[in-house]
């Protein structure tokens, strides 16, 4: 491979890494406020993307697809936010606070429940996702030279993800809701003493994370071209890896780690092929665990 081929692989990968970053942010947000992992998160995010397909199928007729592209993203985001709230209610709201095992196990149960519902509703067949990204940026291939070009659909995803991240950071650092979220994340009891409802803040955080996940789900559907329950496990694993590499609870960490994983993954793909690609991503995680367990931006806390 020549240098320009690496450049091409990294560029494509970093743009795809945008949805790893979004999923990673979702995991990290929930971890931040609750100190718990929601393993059903990526599945609920795909649930949103499936729901947008369902709504489009209800409205559209035949070849005419019912929803304009941006509305697909909106429906997916709203539906995933709703699913995230459901997951919060059945897995987090009533399980004991100091016994993490029960919550974790419940979210694994929710993961399989959502996966099975998706398999059930689609007979296990992959569903075609409309090419909603075509036409937002006119040029399908922005060519810089014979060997290097930027794909229009990936660029759209990347820009959309950046906008979503910008909105999230504004929400967290410029609004009272964000202040409450950060307060609960920082010191739960103190936040409660200031009159912040921990329960409501947790639920809101789940919904915010869910909305981001729904966007990511629709983006993945649009970039891959299909939605399939087979995507649930790999995306959950990648999202978790991004979360750990960025540092548990760190949003900038999740963004940087997401883009990093996306870029490196594409280099592994170019060098070793599709069947070995993910093995190297896992090895990357173990390197981090061995040498930098707090992640890129995490606080140096080694134990619970």
Partner 1 sequence: MDDFTWGLVQIVGVHTILGLSAYVILLTGQVSMAQAGFVAIGAYVAGMLTVLAEWHIIPSMITGGLAAAVLACIVGFPALRVRGLMLVVATIAFGEFVRLFWFNFDYRIAKGDIIVGPEGGEGFKQIRFFPENGWTTQDVAAFIWIVAAIILATLWWMDRSRAGKVLRAVGEDEMAAQSVGINLTVVKVSAFTAGGFIAGIAGALYAHYTTHIEHLNFDILMATFAIAYPILGGLANVWGTLFAAIFIQVIVIEVLRDLGDVRNLMFGALIILVMNFLPRGLFSAQVVRKLREWTGLGKTSDA
203 binds partner 1 (CB under 8 A): no
149 binds partner 1 (CB under 8 A): no
Nearer to partner 1, 178 or 210 (CB): 210
- Exposed/middle/buried for residue 128 (C-beta within 10 Å: 0-12, 13-18, 19+): exposed
113 binds partner 1 (CB under 8 A): yes
* Percentage helix, strand, coil for the chain under 3-state DSSP, each rounded to 5: 75, 5, 20
Distance of CA 251 to the CA centre of its chain: 12
274 binds partner 1 (CB under 8 A): no
**Which of the stretches 66-74, 94-102, 151-159, 221-229 binds partner 1 when contact is defined by CB under 8 A?**
94-102
Name the one residue in this structure whose structure tokens are 């290097």: 148
37 binds partner 1 (CB under 8 A): yes
Nearer to partner 1, 102 or 179 (CB): 102
* In 94-197, alpha helices (H): 100-122, 152-174, 176-186, 188-193
176 binds partner 1 (CB under 8 A): no
User: CB of 285: closest distance to partner 1 in angstroms?
Assistant: 5
47 sits in which H/E element? helix 41-59
Name the one residue in this structure whose structure tokens are 């942010």: 25
Applying CB under 8 A, which residues contact partner 1? 31, 35-37, 39, 90-91, 94-96, 99-106, 108-117, 119-120, 233, 236-237, 240-241, 243-244, 248, 275-276, 278-279, 282-283, 285-286, 289-290, 293, 301-304
């Amino acid at each position: 491979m020549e240098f320009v081929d690496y450049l091409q692989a990294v560029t494509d990968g970093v743009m795809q890494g945008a949805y790893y970053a979004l999923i990673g942010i979702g995991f990290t947000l929930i971890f931040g406020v609750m100190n718990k992992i929601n393993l059903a998160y990526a599945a609920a995010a795909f649930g949103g993307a499936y729901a947008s397909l369902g709504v489009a199928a209800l409205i559209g007729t035949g070849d005419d697809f019912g929803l304009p592209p941006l509305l697909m993203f909106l429906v997916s985001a709203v539906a995933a936010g709703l699913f995230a709230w459901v997951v919060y209610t059945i897995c987090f709201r009533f399980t004991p606070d100091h016994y993490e095992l029960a919550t974790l196990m419940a979210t694994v149960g929710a993961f399989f429940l959502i996966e099975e519902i998706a398999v059930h509703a689609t007979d296990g067949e992959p569903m075609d996702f409309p090419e909603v990204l075509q036409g937002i940026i006119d040029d399908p291939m922005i060519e810089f030279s014979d060997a290097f070009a930027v794909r229009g659909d990936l660029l759209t995803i990347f820009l959309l993800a950046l906008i979503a991240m910008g909105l999230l950071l504004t929400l967290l650092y410029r609004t009272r809701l964000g202040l409450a979220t950060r307060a609960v994340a920082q010191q739960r009891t103190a936040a409660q003493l200031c009159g912040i409802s921990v329960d409501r803040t947790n639920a809101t955080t789940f919904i915010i994370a869910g909305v981001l996940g729904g966007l990511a789900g629709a983006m993945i559907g649009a970039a891959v071209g299909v939605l399939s329950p087979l995507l649930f496990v790999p995306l959950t694993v990648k999202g978790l890896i991004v979360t750990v590499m960025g540092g548990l609870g760190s949003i900038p960490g999740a963004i940087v780690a997401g883009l990093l994983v996306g870029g490196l993954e594409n280099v592994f793909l170019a060098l070793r092929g599709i069947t070995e690609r993910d093995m190297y991503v896992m090895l990357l995680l173990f390197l981090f665990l061995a040498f930098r367990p707090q992640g890129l931006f995490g606080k140096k806390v080694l134990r619970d």
